[in-house]
Homo-oligomer: A and B are copies of this chain.
Amino acid sequence: MAWNTNLRWRLPLTCLLLQVIMVILFGVFVRYDFEADAHWWSERTHKNLSDMENEFYYRYPSFQDVHVMVFVGFGFLMTFLQRYGFSAVGFNFLLAAFGIQWALLMQGWFHFLQDRYIVVGVENLINADFCVASVCVAFGAVLGKVSPIQLLIMTFFQVTLFAVNEFILLNLLKVKDAGGSMTIHTFGAYFGLTVTRILYRRNLEQSKERQNSVYQSDLFAMIGTLFLWMYWPSFNSAISYHGDSQHRAAINTYCSLAACVLTSVAISSALHKKGKLDMVHIQNATLAGGVAVGTAAEMMLMPYGALIIGFVCGIISTLGFVYLTPFLESRLHIQDTCGINNLHGIPGIIGGIVGAVTAASASLEVYGKEGFQRGLDRKNTGKVPDLWSLGDPGHGPDGWHHCGAHFEITILGTTFR
């Protein structure tokens, strides 16, 4: 790399400059959503609307869980390398703090413009966290190879592309992706793998001891793993429709994750020559079930369907850590420090396929009139107009099939970016 990462003034100036730009753009563009606006809500309450109907109470607990996943979950998950423990948590903190601001703007311009203003409410905060989660995923591939400035630049570009990709998937292709298997995980993983391929350094292979983990660092990493695992039901249900959809998304994710733990342990032990467990698998592959159930989390998957997804992904993800990661490094020169291809990449693709199949097989009997209509219709709760619609309103019941039809294009588009 030509960059001298220790140049004394580069990091301070980058941070200050970015933050000044954020202040200016927020000043020009960002205002409160009507449910967070004193004047608007003050008028609304006269229409006999209970304070409890404010979107805040539907989404805030899930938002906080997602927030913990992004900062503690991803941050500590990457502390398993003794040498990079503080970098992992600290740099993750920095990139996420910048990323959420930039994501509020980028996603706002694409999805939440009213007149010329971006209106911000609790749902935007969740979406910004989601967007940053995708950057945290990508960070996992380049951990130990990048400086804070490079991370900020990567965040800038990835958030921008994330918003474009999300717009294409959700608004143009009418894909529904509540838990972000495609938009967050697959995109984040292949973006990160592309970056790490570009940053390939041969001599890193010799310094294997830098990738050592120690006992304490493994316990710190388990903090990250467990907070991700426990709060994943909130991740997948955070921006679902109110009522049964949020309820169902949480149940499905809960089931999928539970199954994933058992099969990850099984394969990890089976592939170890003494039958022991590899901590990297426990820390990572156990989460694959949450990734894969993301897209279809709010669908009528049935609990056993969720279990099957978790079952399969625990196996595939662990196999990936054992066979695929070394192959990628030795043959394709892709150094995937945290194995994000196995945790986010492949499970994300599986999640997209599951979502396409589930959407294609949706029926009026299973979803009821309103539920099915929501699948076809653009109208949501009236607040996030086109963002999370499941199908194309112009195509009748075929709308559901669109997901399936356009899906391959989507994956191709994401993979070969």
Interface residues of A (CB under 8 A from B): 6-16, 18-20, 22-23, 26-27, 30-33, 35-43, 45-46, 50-58, 60-62, 64-65, 67-68, 71-72, 75-76, 79, 85-86, 89-90, 93-94, 97-98, 100-101, 104, 120-122, 125, 148, 215-216, 218-220, 222-223, 226-227, 229-231, 233-234, 242-248, 250-251, 254-255, 257-263, 265-267, 269-270, 274-277, 279, 282, 286, 300, 302-304, 307-308, 311, 365-372
**For the complex, what is the distance from the CA of A313 to the CA of B234, rounded to whole Å?**
32
A246–B86 contact, CB under 8 A? no
The 24 sampled A-B contact pairs (Cβ below 8 Å) are A12-B267, A19-B307, A23-B307, A26-B303, A30-B302, A32-B302, A35-B247, A36-B248, A37-B300, A38-B245, A38-B366, A38-B367, A41-B244, A42-B368, A54-B242, A56-B247, A79-B219, A86-B218, A90-B279, A90-B282, A101-B255, A120-B303, A121-B247, A122-B247
Q: Which of A41, A45, A71, A265: most chain B Cβ within 10 A?
A: A265
Name the distance in Å between A172's Cβ and chain B's nearest Cβ. Answer: 26
Q: Does the CB pair A371–B38 fall under 8 Å?
A: yes
Q: A286: which B residues are within 8 A, CB to CB?
A: 93, 97
- Which of B16, B262, B279 makes the CB contact (< 8 A) with A18? B262
B302 near A247 with CB under 8 A, answer no
Please judge, given known A-B contacts A36-B248, A368-B39, A368-B41, whether A262 and B303 are in contact too, CB under 8 Å: no
Known: A7-B275, A35-B244, A79-B219; 9 extra A-B contacts, CB below 8 A, are A8-B269, A11-B265, A12-B275, A14-B266, A26-B303, A52-B242, A56-B246, A86-B218, A90-B222
Interchain nearest-CB distance for A221 vs B (Å): 10
Pick the contact of A222 from B10, B37, B89 — CB < 8 Å?
B89
In the bound complex, CA of A365 to CA of B104 (Å): 26
Min CB gap A24→B, angstroms: 8
What residues on B are CB-neighbors of A269 within 8 Å?
8, 11-12, 15
A201 to B21, CA, bound (A): 47
Chain B proximity of A263: nearest CB distance (Å) = 6
Q: Contact check, B282 vs A12: say whether CB atoms are below 8 A apart.
A: no
How many Å lie between the Cα of A82 and that of B84 in the bound state? 19
In the assembly, what is the distance between CA of A93 and CA of B219, in Å? Answer: 13
Interface residue SS majority, chain A = helix
Across the interface, A86 reaches (CB within 8 A) one of B53, B219, B226, B368, namely B219
| Highest count of chain B CB atoms <10 Å: which of A19, A255, A276 | A19
Partner of A15, one of B86, B266, B303: B266
Report B-chain residues with C-beta under 8 Å of the C-beta of A6: 274-276
Known contacts A38-B371, A98-B262, A307-B101; A251 and B32 CB within 8 A of each other: yes
Shortest distance between the CB of A332 and any CB in chain B (Å): 29
Task: Let me know if A125 and B368 touch, CB within 8 A.
Answer: no
- A242 x B51 contact (CB < 8 A): yes
A80 to chain B, nearest CB (A): 12
A218 to B7, CA, bound (A): 25
Contact between chains at B22 and A244 (CB < 8 Å): no
A53-B54 contact, Cβ under 8 Å, with A42-B367, A89-B219, A97-B258: no
CA distance A366 to B104 in the complex (A): 23
- Nearest 5 pairs of A and B residues by beta carbon: A42-B368, A41-B244, A97-B261, A39-B368, A51-B242
Cβ B251 vs Cβ A121 within 8 A = yes
Are A37 and B244 in contact (CB-based, < 8 A)?
yes
- Neighbour of A275 across the interface among B8, B72, B243, B368, CB < 8 A: B8
Q: Which residue of B lies closest to A362 (CB)?
A: B38
- Chain B contacts of A57 at CB under 8 A? 52, 57-58
- B64/A26 in contact, CB under 8 A: no
A71 to chain B, nearest CB (A): 5
